[in-house]
Structure 1
Amino acid sequence: MVAVDGHAGSGKSTFAGQLARALDDAPVLHLDDIASHDELFEWTGRLLTQVIEPLTRGETAHYTPYDWRARRFGPPLPVPPAPVVVVEGVGAGRRALRPHLAQLLWMELPHEESWARGRSRDGEEQREFWRGWVRAERKHFADDPSRPFADLLIRQCGKGYEVTNGPAGTVGPDQPFT
């Protein structure tokens, strides 16, 4: 599993899609489908049981994607086992997931710029949601930062991306394998 983490609005989904295409159309799991209004960041158990554990056994995983407009979970969708599965979303590099990751990529864009892009993308309809989101994201990264563990930092450029080494240079106590 390769995780693409960063602030909301930093370009994770776009980058993950391009990365997946470059990796022979690897499956992409969007954490927006795992999170919900009631569990912005409390979805780790569901991700582990619905996706990571079955994939670890070489089985097709099935997760129930969340519909943010209807505010309910939908019918299960499959994630087939593959040589690489890309997981993208805020919190993809959290402590509980790092032992399952081959690589952690961090979208290197300041949080204020990321959030401005996200607000612009989501429009007035989601204005109130963003107020709560910013508080929740700040708390999440204060309690469980991902960037210090990133293998690579990804910066979006005018055309393409700049990739540099991240702060994680070595395997640590919460990452027994890569």
Structure 2
Amino acid sequence: MNFLAHTFLSGSDEELLVGNFIADSVKGRQKDGYPAGIRRGIELHRLIDTYTDSHPIVHQTKERLRPEQGKFAGVTTDMFYDHFLAANFEKYASISLLDFSLYVYQTVESYSHILPERVHYFLPYMVKQNWLHRYAQIAGIQDSLNGLSRRSTFASNMSTATQTLEENYQIYKQDFEQFFPELQNYVKQVVAT
């Protein structure tokens, strides 16, 4: 899962959301330097990633993408799944995607004093270009995948992935629709403990 799913799965707990948002920029035991609520969000992010990476439906999506995407099949799957969440946001949330996106940006920015350097670097671009809202369009996913491809130190086909998405849209959408409710249930159980 990518930024949209991670923040959405944080519910209304702001510290959980911020921790979940910054987790990829916090390595190993660095999390111990954060307040308890943020730490919990970082841990939740890691649990979501572990659950997602080991799920058979996600594995199926990655395997479909692997011939073209190679080792980037997982990243591409994350972006596809965020697209399906964004494109169908009203099915999962009681708030519009635009309002939710603005809420995420405002919340994360309000914790600027604790954000990792990497987040300080990309957050202004994310806000200005409204990445979370743009995930609802294939062009928005294409822009994100192009950016990832440019920053990759290895050759990748991420810039061509949306062509595969368009050609097999219903198949990938079905994967997401089967998987995401299971992920939501898993997160509810984890957060409740």
Which structure is higher in helix share? 2
TM-score by length of 1: 0.31
TM-score by length of structure 2 reads 0.30
More strand by share: 1
